């Protein structure tokens, strides 16, 4: 998943941004960054050159409509499950949890 030098967070951020069809600049602006630095900051987060604090990670998650935990999941299948759970209705979440408990 993550390219050499890229952090798990950075790789997941880029995946979510591309899936949402947003440029680095647009994502940064939507997440609350000043337009003059938005593209550069998101680029550095994606490359793993700068760490994202948890509060801003939450803002990025809201902007991308993904659970914050998605950014930190090291396993690709777990990341997918987190996305699916985040997109599920309350009823579907309950069913997913019941199935998981029975495994």
Q: Which residues contact 59 (CB under 8 A, 6 or more apart)?
A: 31, 32
CB atoms within 10 A of CB 87: 12
Tokens at residue 90, please?
């309350």
Q: Fill in the DSSP letter of residue 34.
A: -
User: What is the C-alpha separation between 73 and 79, in angstroms, rounded?
Assistant: 5
- Supply φ then ψ for residue 100, to 5 degrees: -60, -40
CATH 3.90.1150.200 fits 8-102, yes or no: no
Q: How confident is the model at residue 3 (pLDDT cuts 50, 70, 90)?
A: very low
Averaged pLDDT for residues 29-57: 97
pLDDT at 89: 97
pTM: 0.88
pLDDT tens digit sequence for 49-103 = 999 999 999 999 999 999 999 999 999 999 999 999 999 999 999 999 999 999 9
């Amino acid at each position: 998943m993550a390219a050499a030098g890229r952090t798990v967070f950075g790789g997941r951020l880029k995946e979510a941004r591309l899936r949402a069809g947003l440029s680095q600049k647009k994502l940064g602006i939507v997440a609350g960054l000043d337009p003059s630095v938005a593209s550069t900051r998101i680029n550095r987060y994606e490359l793993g050159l700068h760490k994202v604090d948890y509060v801003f990670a939450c803002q990025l998650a809201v902007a991308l409509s993904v659970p914050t935990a998605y950014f930190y999941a090291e396993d690709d299948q777990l990341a997918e499950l987190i996305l699916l759970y985040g997109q599920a209705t309350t009823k579907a979440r309950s069913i997913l949890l019941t199935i998981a408990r029975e495994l």
